[in-house]
Structure 1
């Protein structure tokens, strides 16, 4: 009975959010609540499950809120402006350098884990260059899509936050073992950028180009820039990343302090702080509220033992001699799964079942999380029709979504395959 209700909960949740009948936050709360009542649990019991679930995801919600605030502050302050200007000066009129430069800039900007912000920044810098040099704009949308993929595995991206909260782990355990895979993915993306660049250079040749990135900044963006604080911001960011990698300070606490310090250093005046908070507050609230709603979902499914029952059912269907392949199969199918499942549906609906099934066979459930992150709504999100930022990307590049998918899908799948191989070789996941 519990197994049936568990699968029904997930199926109904997937149907409601894929068909857009309910918002993700609403579905995460109401669907498991109704199923919990049907399973015979009292409101008090369900309330205790909900509270336990919220407590589990609270550190992740706090991490996400203040990580977005930190990197948004750095973007507003102009930390990455000299890098943008340097890349543009370097590429000049060479299509090869332009395309490789697009990849490098996208990766740097995407350190904040926000696809929407990355697409807007990179497109504002490079779209005029692509138009002036007559480079195929499918290359622009494609390389930007590829470049955000490996970097979207950072612990503060919305996708990683979902995996962390679902598996009730921390950023260090899920992220650090995947670092070699991320590096391999970055190498693959740069290779593809070089390949495209050679083809466009051969087709178009090298021409003269004069263009200034700062001409595209709005008046408010210019007012928020803090060029005199560049080195302070750079040292603060390097220190933050080193501390994160070493695990010296709990990640949520680290970003709470770093976000507050960054905001105060760059914008000591209250009106300026309010501008930054208002401009990014909506995104921060939407993502963090989703994480806490996910706590309700996972709390009820876990507390009611529905997940355990579903895992037991799946275990009976998987031949024991093939169980060791589960992390690898999860990794290989993770990128195509982005075309079928939203990140919420996959990480809150599919991953818990896979991880519990892995546990039944003596496999570390964290391997399922690491495997899933090698493609599902990381490499896959900029080609998926289920994410709004995909439409922003193709809209800004002025290309058709179908053309974009046809052009870059095989290369994106290649990223996941390369990262999966690296993960297997370095022990992030095992056969």
Structure 2
């Protein structure tokens, strides 16, 4: 192993350990530790400046997308767009165990469009828990299916996960939308499987209740008044206007790739603000509110370019990959990324989201180039790290989901129920992607 490779591996280990132990912030890890590593391998100040400049150039555009996309969807959530969609779905549905189970996934997917895992749990669990209790269904199913709805919205182009991933392919125009469209066919199949699993769990609950002598009559209809908009910010009368505006934004992202995605979201945000909240003081108040949600994720995405830039342009990454090529048996080499994907669920107990996307994927991606596997294929294969929704190290919001059940579900009960199912779903996802050619 060369000195450069040794420094690179130590740097990655230090970053992972510090983030797992929560000793320092992600921003500190990405901004400071790579600089120390560059100094240790003998890089000059001028060289380090060049590495950093090139690295930040890789991540600037995706950071700008987050700057405008996250406030746009948070604004739509405040205006009541997602609540309005949920109300229209619930209005005429009678609730029984299979319907309620499927509905849980659907509501979680809709509320997850603003890419806030916290809000998905805060809306879905309290809304549907009374019906789980009324039907005497196991509430752990509610938390589990809400989690599946969250996983199924991981890949919307404005999510932090997608923006992290797109920063690794800076030469691909409109990277987040490119990755999203690549994943879409496989995701369509996967969505059907998730809904089928939800229906199966609902039917299984019905049979369990019947065997226990419990009544499984319909719980009736959900009172749509339970889905309430913010009294100050809700704009129910503008629901269809906001739907049309959002569809136009998404259409522009899909069909006008020449226009930078961040500019599309910037224009959408400006129009949405002026349509829904004409008062400039209120607009400024909302923008300040949304700004707090941009930190520390957006700076971390931007500063991740420092890690990649230093590793790539200093030769550190090449040295690390050469070392791995000498260790890995040649027969296994072309399949390393698939093997990692197959074990991604238990591996996520050793990673945070940042270290998965900024440490694991770049190393595996660079390694696979030696076998002719493009970086985008590696990203697509390793993207849906479902195991993150099993560990509070990667996703601390899980505690919110379990706490909202009023003590009926704790973390250990949730993990015990969900672990095998999510791992099986992860393998199914991998098989779908390979069969459809997305991961090859």
Which category describes the TM-score, using the shorter chain as reference length?
Answer: over 0.9
Say which of 82, 89, 92 aligns to 2:91.
89
Other structure's SS at 2:152 match: helix
What is residue 5 of structure 1 aligned with on the other side?
7
Report the Cα offset of residue 150 of structure 1.
2.2
Distance in 2 between residues matched to 1:40 and 1:213, nearest whole Å: 64
Query: Is 1:245 aligned to 2:254, yes or no?
Result: yes
Other structure's SS at 1:362 match: coil
What is residue 384 of structure 1 aligned with on the other side?
391
Report the Cα offset of residue 209 of structure 1.
4.0
Other structure's SS at 1:388 match: coil
CA contact (8 A) 2:131 2:219 kept: no
Other structure's SS at 2:417 match: helix
Higher mean alpha-carbon deviation, 389-398 vs 300-309, is at 389-398
Query: Is 1:43 aligned to 2:45, yes or no?
Result: yes
Other structure's SS at 2:231 match: helix
CA contact (8 A) 1:107 1:147 kept: yes
CA contact (8 A) 2:127 2:226 kept: no
Report the Cα offset of residue 167 of structure 1.
3.5
Distance in 2 between residues matched to 1:332 and 1:297, nearest whole Å: 26
What stretches of structure 1 of length at least 5 have no aligned partner?
Answer: none
Other structure's SS at 1:223 match: coil
What are the equivalent positions in structure 2 for 1:148-297 lying under 5 Å apart?
148-168=150-170, 169=172, 170-202=175-207, 203=209, 204-209=215-220, 211-215=222-226, 217=228, 221-248=230-257, 249-297=259-307
What are the equivalent positions in structure 2 for 1:60-79 lying under 5 Å apart?
60-79=62-81
Query: Is 1:107 aligned to 2:118, yes or no?
Result: no
Distance in 2 between residues matched to 1:199 and 1:265, nearest whole Å: 47
Distance in 2 between residues matched to 1:35 and 1:20, nearest whole Å: 20
Cα distance change on mapping 1:330 and 1:177 into 2, 3 Å: farther
CA contact (8 A) 1:145 1:383 kept: no
**RMSD over aligned Cα, in angstroms?**
1.9
Superposed CA deviations along residues 180-238 of structure 1, whole A, max 9, x for unmatched, are 221122112101110111122331502444653544647xx121111111111111112
Report the Cα offset of residue 363 of structure 1.
1.2
Other structure's SS at 1:320 match: coil
Higher mean alpha-carbon deviation, 40-49 vs 62-71, is at 40-49
What is residue 121 of structure 2 aligned with on the other side?
119
Distance in 1 between residues matched to 2:280 and 2:426, nearest whole Å: 45
Distance in 1 between residues matched to 2:137 and 2:249, nearest whole Å: 37
CA contact (8 A) 2:144 2:418 kept: yes
Distance in 1 between residues matched to 2:221 and 2:189, nearest whole Å: 34
Cα distance change on mapping 1:238 and 1:247 into 2, 3 Å: same
Other structure's SS at 1:321 match: coil
Report the Cα offset of residue 423 of structure 1.
1.1
Distance in 2 between residues matched to 1:146 and 1:23, nearest whole Å: 28
Cα distance change on mapping 1:344 and 1:241 into 2, 3 Å: same
What is residue 393 of structure 1 aligned with on the other side?
401
What is residue 434 of structure 2 aligned with on the other side?
424
Report the Cα offset of residue 137 of structure 1.
1.1
Distance in 1 between residues matched to 2:165 and 2:380, nearest whole Å: 8
Say which of 11, 29, 32 aligns to 2:31.
29
Report the Cα offset of residue 261 of structure 1.
1.8
Distance in 2 between residues matched to 1:14 and 1:271, nearest whole Å: 42
Other structure's SS at 1:316 match: helix
TM-score (structure 2 length as normaliser): 0.91
Distance in 2 between residues matched to 1:177 and 1:24, nearest whole Å: 29
Distance in 2 between residues matched to 1:276 and 1:118, nearest whole Å: 20
TM-score (structure 1 length as normaliser): 0.93
Distance in 2 between residues matched to 1:208 and 1:428, nearest whole Å: 42
Other structure's SS at 1:98 match: helix
Report the Cα offset of residue 75 of structure 1.
0.8
Superposed CA deviations along residues 386-408 of structure 1, whole A, max 9, x for unmatched, are 12212222222342111101111
Distance in 2 between residues matched to 1:185 and 1:410, nearest whole Å: 17
Distance in 2 between residues matched to 1:332 and 1:234, nearest whole Å: 38
Distance in 2 between residues matched to 1:23 and 1:98, nearest whole Å: 40
Report the Cα offset of residue 258 of structure 1.
1.6
